[in-house]
Amino acid sequence: MCSLPIHCDEVNEELVTESANQYAAGCEQLGLAADGDMTLDGVVNVLDTLLSVSFVLKLLTPQDGDFFAIACKGDLNLDGQMDILDIVSIINTIKSG
C-alpha cells in the first residue's frame, strides 16, 4: 500500500516505508508530536477539527514556515499526508476526553 503522495508504480514499497519513517523521525526531532493540536493551544478540541478540515479541503494553506509543524501536528497516522483519516482520529481524541 502506498500512502505517501507518490504513485505506487514509480517507487517500491520499501522506499515508501523509508520515507514515512524519515518523516516521523523529523517530527519527533523537532518535538512535534502528532497529537491533533492544530491550533497549538495545548488542547485538542473542535477548533483543531475545523482547522484540519480547512487544510484538507484546501480552504486554508499553511504559510511556508508553518507547513511542516502543521503537518506533524495534524498527521496523526504519520502517513505523510493530512486526510480524512486524520480528521477522524482528531474527533476520536476529542470524544475520548
34, 73 Cβ separation under 8 angstroms: yes
Compute the distance between CA of residue 53 and CA of residue 87 in angstroms, rounded to an integer: 7
pTM over 0.85: no
Phi and psi at 76, nearest 5°, equal -65, -30
Nearest CA among 62, 77, 5, 74 for reference residue 37: 74
Helix locations, 1-97, DSSP H? 13-29, 46-56, 67-74, 84-95
Q: What is the pLDDT of residues 5-52, one digit of tens each?
A: 444 444 455 555 566 667 677 777 777 788 999 888 889 999 999 999
Determine the 3-state secondary structure of 81 from DSSP. coil
